[in-house]
């Protein structure tokens, strides 16, 4: 144990703040890879302007942020050219701090030699830094996600469920994390990947927590309705994740598919895509019932891969969470291949985006091809994580023996 992490953290935050006040954010604000219609800073500013002038921002078709952000930034935290970089830097710093707390709770130590590495892997992760410099509200979603997991690891179920309810208000696909986070608050985050034994969770433990989450969600929903004065926000925010009304290009797998979709097939495939996200919850929670923190990690990866309106920040959170599971590193199956696919995609995405939307020498197929490569990289990382999590429990197989998990 040492204090390197405590020294590295302020240095990383200072470097991040310098970047935030550089000319770089102005060049990134309108990049579709870093901001989606649900997380765009320019759309947030537009909605705040309309709201402050007595116009319902949800009466149009461009504003899709949660009313919680609308009320927060129009009253308590006004967004300016000076406050916004500081706020987003503080959000990233808080998320990095929460990630290190999760690691410490999992390791059962107040301070470890890996703390500085974990700070750096979050605050220097390009998938995290670039969307944050673009002032995408996906950075706030990452913070709420990590705070929910941190509170669950500490056994503070109420705080975890409140943070999770706030996250769902901002991003509906976060409902994937409700079950594993609730169960994590009961079981605590001690590493059990190498001891794959069934965990007995009593219904009387989970039902009150689920009811509490529903209560927080209902309270926040009514508060949002009070802010807006009507229920139109539900269709524009949550409804956008279910009906995909805005087909602005993004790094995800949905937009091009539904751009080419015939209208009479659209409702069916929307239902299939939405249900597809939900089918992972039970299998992941059951298979990794001995380590619900790892189940949360995997479902964050599922969300990053199949989210309707993703940004680079979503896989960025998944890759940053790899740092709190060092025991799986020896069991990753194809880490070099996965890394090279992501390197390839990180070059293709901006190149093909520029060829299509700026140079005019390409078309939508160019950019969609790069998003497929990016999706393949995310899928490869997710499969590697699943394989490694299962392989840890088996250990080194001895010749002539078969080992099966319970």
What tokens appear for 208 in the block?
A: 């009150």
User: How far apart (Å, rounded) are the C-alpha atoms in residues 302 and 280?
Assistant: 8
Comparing C-alpha atoms, which of 140, 146, 92, 139 is closest to residue 119?
Answer: 92
The whole-angstrom separation of Cα 96 and Cα 94 is: 5
Residue 406 inside a domain? The answer is no
Average pLDDT, integer, range 200-206: 68
The pLDDT value recorded for residue 170 is 93
- Given a cut of 90, whether residue 168 has pLDDT beyond it is yes
* Structure confidence at residue 399 (pLDDT): 41
Q: Which tens digits make up the pLDDT trace of 218-274?
A: 999 999 999 888 888 999 999 999 999 988 889 998 998 898 888 889 999 999 999
Residue 54, pLDDT > 80, answer yes
**Distance separating alpha carbons of residues 65 and 120, to the nearest angstrom:** 30
Residue 372: inside a domain:
yes
Mean pLDDT of the chain: 87
The total domain count for the chain is 1
pLDDT band at 396 (very low <50, low <70, confident <90, very high): very low
pLDDT of residue 365: 85
Indicate whether this model's pTM tops 0.85.
yes
How crowded is residue 238: how many other Cβ atoms within 10 Å of its Cβ? 17
Q: Is 398 a residue whose pLDDT tops 80?
A: no
For 86, the token pair is 């500081």
Q: How confident is the model at residue 4 (pLDDT cuts 50, 70, 90)?
A: low
For residue 402, pLDDT over 50 is answered with no
The residue-averaged pLDDT of 345-355 equals 88
pLDDT digits (tens, 9 = 90+) for 23-33: 888 888 888 88
Residues 55, 67: Cα–Cα separation, whole Å = 14
Query: CB within 8 A of 351, min separation 6: which ones?
Result: 370
Residues comprising the chain, all counted: 406
Range of the domain at 267: 4-394
Q: Are 147 and 39 in contact (CB under 8 A)?
A: no
Q: Is the pLDDT of residue 58 over 70?
A: yes
Asked whether residue 226 is assigned to any structural domain, the reply reads: yes
Q: Residue 405 falls within a domain, yes or no?
A: no
CA 115 to chain centre: 21
Note whether residue 401 is domain-resident: no
In a domain, 47, yes or no: yes
């Amino acid at each position: 144990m040492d204090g390197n992490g405590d020294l590295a953290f302020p240095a990383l935050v200072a470097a991040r703040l310098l970047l935030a006040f550089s000319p770089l954010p102005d060049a990134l604000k309108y990049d579709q890879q870093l901001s989606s219609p649900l997380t765009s800073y320019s759309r947030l500013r537009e909605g705040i302007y309309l709201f402050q002038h007595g116009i319902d921002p949800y009466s149009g078709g461009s504003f899709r942020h949660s009313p919680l952000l609308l009320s927060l930034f129009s009253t308590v935290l006004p967004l300016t050219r000076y406050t916004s970089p500081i706020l987003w830097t503080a959000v990233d710093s808080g998320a990095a701090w929460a990630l290190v707390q999760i690691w410490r709770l999992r390791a059962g130590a107040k301070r470890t030699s890996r703390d500085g590495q974990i700070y750096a892997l979050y605050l220097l992760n390009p998938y995290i830094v670039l969307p944050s410099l673009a002032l995408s509200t996906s950075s706030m979603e990452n913070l709420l996600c990590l705070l929910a997991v941190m509170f669950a690891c500490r056994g503070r179920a109420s705080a975890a469920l409140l943070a999770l309810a706030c996250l769902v208000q901002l991003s509906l696909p976060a409902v994937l994390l409700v079950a594993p986070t609730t169960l994590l608050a009961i079981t605590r985050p001690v590493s059990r990947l190498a001891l794959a034994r069934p965990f007995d969770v009593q219904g009387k433990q989970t039902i009150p927590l689920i009811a509490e989450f529903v209560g927080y969600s209902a309270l926040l929903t009514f508060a949002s309705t009070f802010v807006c004065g009507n229920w139109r926000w539900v269709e524009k925010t949550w409804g956008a994740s279910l009906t995909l009304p805005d087909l602005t290009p993004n790094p995800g797998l949905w937009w091009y598919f539904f751009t080419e979709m015939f209208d009479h097939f659209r409702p069916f495939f929307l239902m299939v895509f939405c249900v597809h996200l939900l089918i992972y919850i039970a299998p992941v929670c059951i298979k990794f019932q001995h380590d619900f923190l790892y189940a949360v990690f995997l479902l964050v990866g599922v969300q990053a891969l199949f989210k309707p309106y993703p940004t680079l920040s979503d896989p960025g959170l998944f890759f940053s969470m790899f740092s709190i599971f060092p025991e799986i590193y020896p069991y990753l199956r194809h880490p070099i291949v996965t890394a090279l696919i992501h390197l390839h995609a990180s070059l293709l995405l901006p190149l093909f985006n520029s060829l299509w939307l700026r140079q005019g020498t390409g078309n939508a197929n160019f950019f969609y091809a790069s998003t497929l490569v990016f999706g393949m990289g995310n899928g490869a990382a997710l499969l590697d994580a699943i394989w490694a999590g299962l392989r840890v429990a088996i250990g080194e197989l001895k010749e002539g023996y078969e080992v099966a998990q319970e």
